[in-house]
Amino acid sequence: MPSSNAFTRRGFVTATAGAAGALAMSPLLAACGNGSSAAKGSTNTKTGLAAALPTYKPNSAANPDIPIVQGSGGAVTDAGYLTYPANPVATVSGTPGSGGTYSAVTPLWGSIPAANNAYYQAVNKALGATINMEPANGNTYNTSVTALVAGKKLPDWIQLPTWWNSTFNVGELTGSQLTDLTPYLAGDKILQYPNLAAIPTAAWSAGVWNNKLYGIPSFASGATFAGCFFYRKDLLVDKLGLSAEVKSIADFENLLKECKAANGGIGASDDLWTYLAQPYGIPEKFAVQNGKLVHKYDLPQFAEGLNWAYKVAKAGYIHPDALAGDTSNANTRFYSGKCIISSTGTGAWNLMDAQSGLAANPKYNRQAFKVFSADGTSTPTIFVEAGASIMSYLNKNLTDKQVKECLAIANYLAAPYGSAEYTLINYGVAGVDHTMTSSGPQYTDQGKKEANQDTYQFLASAASVVSNPGMDQLTKDFCAWQADAVQHAYKPVFDNANITVPARLATADTAQAVEDTIKEVYHGLKPISAFQDAVTTWKKSGGTDVIAWYQTNVYDKFGSMQ
């Protein structure tokens, strides 16, 4: 994935499998501890986090065609590129490595390349070290890595995606099996690694545990949002003559009604619930009112938004296959025009999507509605998620010299878009793995087999950019949406806190029974009262204790950390 948009679990899965709205994962990175209060590797404080974070210093080998836009809440857009540098320049002098040999395990959602292939050999030669890449099946990665953790057999360098922090118990691994990088990278110490220093601060925050820096981020972005509402412009606007200027939930509902009528009386929208949090102002997990935490389930806007989702489902505005829980064919419904409106992660808006859509309909044009408020009068808001969900770690058994060598290698791997190092890591050797064209590097048959997979990138990579070679308007449209969205961004409560919830409260914290009921409500199977009853039961079976634990052990000690 050498181009376009930040890599997140939600973005990756929705872009490739069409799991629209299926992954409502909370970026509040809660690993299960054992005590009744904060355990080893648990909650960061606002001041402690600031002290552990590296200094941010932008670095670009190629000036973007669409510059970064600063928003609110610390959000910044990804740089946009319409062309790839014809002559990539080097950002690292000499070879970063000093002859070391290291084992590295990373997930891979694709075909596993042959071991010690020509691409690996070329990259290792450029690194001046041997990284024995051992990519593992991403679909079973949580199981295979759990075994390594339990046996204390972690490799020298490992990728631990943040959505599995709880599974891997990362909070406990920090300080016991993983290297503390704070002495090497905190503050201005990172400036000796200029490409690492160019990674946005928000991305590093996700790798800080108990006020110490452990993780090295990949695919960082300062504009990581849960997702948005998409529409087929070629159908909604160009064919039906409807306006995509949605200012309120009433406007949105009118569009759903019109799309159903145009679709022969069959609902022409896919599931919407997950991203209704944005117009209804539903927080990630908690809001703070008068110094007290209020769980999102207890907020009136949560019930209001869920009741609206129930209402449109009962009105037949949602496609029946979506109501039946079929998420695997969501992209197919969108490409075919059976669904004119959908909601999913922003990672779905990319070159691969455009190519698939155009293959189904030559006029295909995915666009996104701007953020809006339900009442149409309030200022829209959208919470920004963690700046990275792909985080690598070094083994604590490495010596000081080895850690420094690995960080020098990481600096090479994090070279910015369009640089000589970036080109090698993402496209392989010129003339062997790729050829340079007017649209940028194009893989050869050998490159497709060996270089066209994310391997080294999962150890470290440059900040994400928006680039869709040959489709300039797509890049411009995505960047324009981001530029608007970041103006409405805010940090959620317990932003980048990496909270370790006691094991005894883990089940209640997940609230799976409530989430299951919510799904039944927004699919029109149960009324809003079923949700209210589920919340009451959840509170009696541990929910109240969970909220109290967060209040006493996190908020009262450290504040909201926003």
Three-state DSSP state, 517: helix
Beta bridge pairs of residue 393: 158
* Whether the predicted pLDDT of 108 surpasses 90: yes
Q: Which helix (H) or strand (E) holds 518?
A: helix 512-522
| Residue 285: band (very low, low, confident or very high) from pLDDT cuts 50, 70, 90 | very high
Structurally, at CATH architecture level, domain 42-68+100-224+387-465 sits in: 3-Layer(aba) Sandwich (3.40)
Whole-angstrom distance, CA of residue 379 vs CA of residue 204: 30
- What integer pLDDT is reported at residue 479 of this predicted model? 98
Query: How high is the pLDDT of residue 235?
Result: 97
Nearest in space to 385 (alpha carbons), one of 284, 501, 502, 270: 284
Q: Is 14's pLDDT higher than 50? A: no
Judged against a pLDDT cut of 60, whether residue 2 lies above it is answered with no
Sheet order of strands, 228-232 included: 341-344, 228-232, 366-368
Whether 7 and 464 have beta carbons less than 8 Å apart is answered as yes
| Mean pLDDT score, 93-109 | 96
Q: Is the pLDDT of residue 6 over 80?
A: no
Give the pLDDT band (50/70/90) at residue 42: low
pLDDT in tens, 485-527: 999 999 999 987 888 889 899 999 999 999 999 999 999 999 9
Q: Return the CATH number of 228-383+493-558, one of 2.60.120.10, 1.10.240.10, 3.40.190.10, 3.40.50.970.
A: 3.40.190.10
Instruction: Please give the sequence-ordered ranges of beta strands (E in DSSP) within 127-185, or none if there are none.
Output: 130-137, 157-159
pLDDT value for 144: 93
Lowest mean pLDDT segment, chosen from 24-38, 391-405, 407-421: 24-38
Percentage with pLDDT > 90 across the chain:
82
DSSP state, 504?
A: H
Q: Is the pTM of this model over 0.95?
A: no
> So what's the pLDDT on residue 34?
35
**How do residues 441-451 score in pLDDT, each as one tens digit?**
999 999 999 99
Give percent above pLDDT 70 in the chain.
92
Q: Is 115 helix (H, G, I), strand (E, B) or coil?
A: coil
How far, in Å, CA of 169 to CA of 166, rounded? 5
pLDDT digits (tens, 9 = 90+) for 51-99: 999 999 988 678 899 999 999 998 999 999 999 988 899 999 999 999 9
Domain ranges (residues) in the chain: 42-68+100-224+387-465, 228-383+493-558
